[in-house]
Amino acid sequence: MKKNDFIIFILFCLILLPTGVSVQKQLILTSPNNKLKTFINVGKTVEYSLLHNGDVMLDKSAISMTLDDGSFYGKNGKLLRSSEKKVNQTFNVRIYKRQQIKDYYNELILEFKDYHIIFRAYDEGIAYRFVSLAKKPFKIMAEQAEFNFPADQKAFINYTNKPETAPLEKQFFNSFEQPYFHYPLSEWNKKRLAINPLLVEGVKGKKLCIAESDLINYPGMFLYPGDKSNSLKGVFAPYPKEVQQGGHNNLQMLIKSRENFVAQFDKGTDFPWRIIIISEKDSDLTDSDIVYKLATPSQGDYSWVKPGKVAWDWWNDWNLYNVNFKTGVNNETYRYYIDFAAQYGIEYVILDEGWAVNKKADLFQVVPEINLPELIAYANSKKVGLILWAGYYAFDRDMEAVCKHYSEMGIKGFKVDFMDRDDQIIVDFHRRGAAMASKYKLLIDYHGTYKPTGLQRTYPNVINFEGVNGLEQMKWADHLDQVTYDVTIPFIRQIAGPMDYTQGAMRNATKDNFKSVDSEAMSQGTRCRQLAEYIVFESPLNMLCDSPSNYMAETECTEFIAKVPTIWDQTIALDGEVAKYVAIARKKGDDWYMGALTNWDARTVELDLSFLGKGNFKGEVFKDGINANRVAKDYKKEVIDIPANRKLTVSMASGGGYVIKITKK
């Protein structure tokens, strides 16, 4: 241990060491770059503290699990041994924002009689998990996950979308779609649970983000004020006891009562990783890999999984014009969508809610207006794949029969919707659905669900997730500030993984002109904002939300959207500040794409493109037009030379965006 490290270690022990606990039970785990230091106290309880370059990011925070036999993981346990290892490896990925991931970390394993606790320290943050060694069935009655901050710090709080009048227990059933509230922890509304990832501001401009990974068979973690001041704690949905079919079009399972435990197991298991990410610059948050790295790797061959774009029907309400048939949920309309997709090289068309008989929760009952075999044959002739929407209960009740039947028909995947929970039963449903779809070579897009926690690494056919307050909100929510939200989620929600945000609106509105319209929906902010979101937002299965008629009237923008990749070889976080602006560069093949977004403030930023290296480059630019502050669809397309000094000046209108595709001359 270096001299400075030893001094920090001794001082921290003197301040935080509980009475009666020996120094031998104090352990320290350091990140590979030596900036992060995790101090772990093992005594009557297990507690950890986190420093970054000597700055306290988390004070002593206790972790434990309570079992149904009255025993504990993390309390009253005798530490048998501890072991450390260093891992320095790189692994390849395909359906992601880069082709290679550097997996560098230091690990500390604490071994107890019936369980282990594993800590990992990365340069970007730390994580811990419990591992049960039980040989017989057991239940987890409660989990203690504390996050104790050194001061009353501001946070970006993503409450559940239940009203304040709903008891906390009722808030476990929610759609995981809410804007962020930015204020001190002390002003947290104690009538509300919040969703992770959750971002807290620390000292010297540093940020701390709480997240989780490898959620396979355990409830997701909500956050709520802890028992101490300046503290948060994990809260977990109890196991459902009685459920009843109901909710949206009888496609959900509603909780009537709950058990007094949160999870049950037949034998020992690995529990989810609890993650604390630390960033010195806000932009670093937009390029985190930690959730993906901590997830269980996939097994088997997934080379058949094909990412791509989707022509989507629901947001534009099946509105076509200049056609000679009545539009709606019928074969004529979908043949038109297929023709549009084929013309622009779009890989998929989705049949959203409406193709199956309503309120039957039966995916084998197809409405008479739809002839699926005919549509599939037509789509195949055009080299376009079809994806079907499915409500949760309808998919779950006949899962294998549904997957087998529609796979054999030629359907390419399912968009599964309205889970709206993350208790143990629903989390396990996501795993089962992924495995079953994989068996029949089907893609899965989990809509109406919680944020991703790495399942897309374990099952790469799970290609997208919602858990985001996406563009669909613009159909009915006048009060929402979607523009500010758009420059917040890349730093918080996107840390968890890809987002089924559903961008691509061709009807665009300034702040003063916007109004929510259900049938002919519009977006907040400029046209270039919508284009830039295809680069800034991660989405391997990426929707074109607007009407084919609108896209064909805007050929220049549509051609650009259709050709933007959905998976990447490399990603670089260029610049940004939470809730203000963001700029990200991504590479595919020999080409670079850069997207930037701003909030309602018009903004000019200088971006460093030195990553391009040597050579002469040109850029195809879409930028806000000179009148975009008045007419949001105003834009200008031009071709520029990339400056030799690699400094690119980017100007954006209020609610604006900027896009450039860079190629070698």
- Interatomic CA distance for residues 258 and 421, integer angstroms: 13
- Interatomic CA distance for residues 593 and 532, integer angstroms: 9
The label of the residue with tokens 């290296």 reads: 613
- Interatomic CA distance for residues 433 and 148, integer angstroms: 37
| Three-state SS sequence of 13-76 | HHHHCCCCCCHHHEEEEECCCCCEEEEEEECCEEEEEEEECCEEEEEEEEEEEEECCCCEECEC
What's the first-to-final CA gap in the chain, in angstroms?
51
| Three-state SS sequence of 117-164 | EEEEEECCEEEEEEEECCCCCEEEEEEEEEEECCCCCEEEECECCCCC
- Interatomic CA distance for residues 502 and 515, integer angstroms: 18
Residue type, 652: M
DSSP string for residues in 231-265: EEEEEEPPPEEEEEEESGGG-EEEEEEE-SSSEEE
Provide CB contacts within 8 A for 79, sequence distance 6+. Answer: 25, 42, 110, 111, 112
- Interatomic CA distance for residues 47 and 25, integer angstroms: 11
DSSP-derived pairing of the beta strands 231-236 and 221-225: antiparallel
The answer to whether 220 and 199 have CB atoms below 8 angstroms apart is no
Cross-strand bridge partners of residue 277: 125, 209
Catalytic residues, which ones?
A: 417, 472
How much is the CA Rg of the chain, to the nearest whole Å? 25
3-state secondary structure of 435: helix
The answer to whether 278 and 125 have CB atoms below 8 angstroms apart is yes
- Interatomic CA distance for residues 615 and 280, integer angstroms: 32
- Interatomic CA distance for residues 510 and 524, integer angstroms: 6
Of 279, 274, 179, residue with least CA distance to 223:
274
| Three-state SS sequence of 522-589 | CEEECHHHHHHHHHHCCCCEEEECCCHHHHHCCHHHHHHHHHCCCCCCEEEEEEEECCCEEEEEEEEC
Report how far Cα 653 is from the mean position of its chain's Cα atoms: 27
Residue 279: both structure tokens together: 């960033």
Provide CB contacts within 8 A for 263, sequence distance 6+. Answer: 139, 140, 217, 218, 219, 236, 239, 424
3-state secondary structure of 483: helix
Residue 290: both structure tokens together: 């930690």
- Interatomic CA distance for residues 192 and 225, integer angstroms: 10
